[in-house]
Each structure stands twice: as structure tokens, then as C-alpha cells.
Structure 1
Amino acid sequence: MNTHMHITSWVLGFILFIIAYMLIKQGKQKQAKIVHMILRLDYLFILYTGGTLTANYIVNAQMPMLAEAITKALAGIWLIAAMEIILVKINKGKSAKSGWIQFIIALILVLILGFARLPYGIAP
């Protein structure tokens, strides 16, 4: 159940991220700020559900999986930071190329570790 809550929270986070990004690009700063604040609240839920999943790996500490779980947790935090970097830089009118590069790298790491490698993911 916790895995489904985590997946739901980050899917919602990606949707809110895309909406905030599009609103900023359209020049709708007030609406973008509201969506961005809601996204920041969703980050807290993502961190909570991800933290409980990581705690499950720590309790069942088997070294290869534990190292991958910690790596995935750090990559997830990195992904959230990259999303923030992108939105803040775009809002200030600056280039967000470095944020997008970090976003793509962290997203690939998180998806591979979360779905393909770790047992609490969808793929066995």
C-alpha cells in the first residue's frame, strides 16, 4: 500500500510540475506561484512515503538492496531539487539547462532503481 501512495504522490508531483512550468512560460505568475506552492506541499508527501519505503529496506537490511535503496532515496531528493531549480530559474528568466540535465539523470536513476531493481517496486 505504501508503494502505491508513493507512486501516486510523485505522479501528482510531476503533473503539478508540468502545470507550474507551463503557467510560468505563459506568463501567468500568480497561478504558477499557487501551483508551485501546492507542489512544494506534495514534495513533503513524496519525502514521507519515500522515507517509509527506505525505512522498510533498512529494517530488512540486506546489503546490496540497502545500498540501492539509499541510492534511490538520494536520487529522489536530487530529483526534487532539480525540479525546484528548473521552476525557480525559469521564473527568474534564467536558463535552466543544468536543471534539466540533472532532472533527466536523477529521473533515470530513480525509475531504474525503483521499478527494475528494488523489490518494493512494481517489477519483480
Structure 2
Amino acid sequence: MIQHYSIFLHSHALFWLIAIVLFILTTVMIRNGKQKPAKIMQMSLRLVYLLVFGTGLTMIFLVPTTMAIVKGILAFVLIYVMEMISLRMSKGTLTKQMATRLWAAFVVLLVVVLYFGYFLT
């Protein structure tokens, strides 16, 4: 089963890249007032979240280390923050104070998750 780990690893990294790109595109579209394309991007982003979660969970089951589990939890929180940013932006309920906190959490979590993913696991 371990020999299949690299397949999941590369798929997982690709899905994360797609998720980050879709997230940035979604927030830019919402900010520019293009609600219809932004809604389509949000739905696509949610599908990619499921793929990221599925490949990540599979890798944790293949190699269940403490660091992988911690990274998985942090990545789940990162996905939650990304969803809160895009959802609140699209609904228009994102206050300036909340936006600052969520974007800061996004940047910090992204750096920590990337560090865990590339250097610690």
C-alpha cells in the first residue's frame, strides 16, 4: 500500500494548487462584482476541497504519523478559513475587522501547512 503513496501525494499537491488558484480567482471575481462566475468558481472550489480532503485522508491512513495528523487538522482549518472568506465576501457580510483576521489566518495557516507538508512529514 505504501508504494501508492506517491500517487496520492502528487494528486494531493495538485489539488491544493488548483484550490489556491480557484480561491484567489473567486475572491477577485467577487471583489470585481462578477457574482455569477464567482458562484460557479465557488462550487468548483468546493469540489476541489473534497478531492483535497479525500487524498489527504488517504495519505494519513497510509502513513499515520502524528505530524501527518496535525497537518491534516491544520489543513482542514485552512479550508474552513478559505470557505469563510469566500462565503462572507459573496454574501457581503465580511466586515473589515473580520476580513483582516481571516486573511491573516489564511496566510499563517497556508505557510504552516506548506511547511508541514514539505519539510516535516
Q: How far off is 1:101 after superposition?
A: 1.7
Equivalence for 2:40: 34
Q: Structure 1: 5+ residue runs without aligned partners?
A: 59-65, 119-124
1:107 matched to 2:106? The reply is no
Count of paired positions: 111
**CA distance in 2: counterparts of 1:11 and 1:77, whole angstroms:** 15
Q: Distance between the aligned counterparts of 1:73 and 1:54, measured in 2?
A: 8
For the residues of structure 2 that align with 1:116 and 1:106, how far apart are their CA atoms? 15
CA distance in 2, matches of 1:7, 1:103: 18
Structure 1 stretch 8-17 or stretch 91-100: which is displaced more? 91-100
Structure 2: unaligned runs, 5 residues or longer = 1-6
The counterpart of 2:13, out of the listed 7, 19, 34, is 7
| Matching residue of 1:56 | 62
Q: Secondary structure at the match of 1:44?
A: helix
Aligned-pair identity in percent equals: 36
* Greater per-residue helix proportion: 2
- What is the distance in 2 between the residues matched to 1:56 and 1:106? 24
* Larger RCO (alpha carbons 8 Å, 6+ apart): 2
In structure 1, distance between residues paired with 2:9 and 2:55: 8
Aligned residue runs from structure 1 range 47-86, under 5 A: 47-58=53-64, 66-86=65-85
Distance 2:79 2:73 in 1: 10
CA distance in 1, matches of 2:83, 2:70: 20
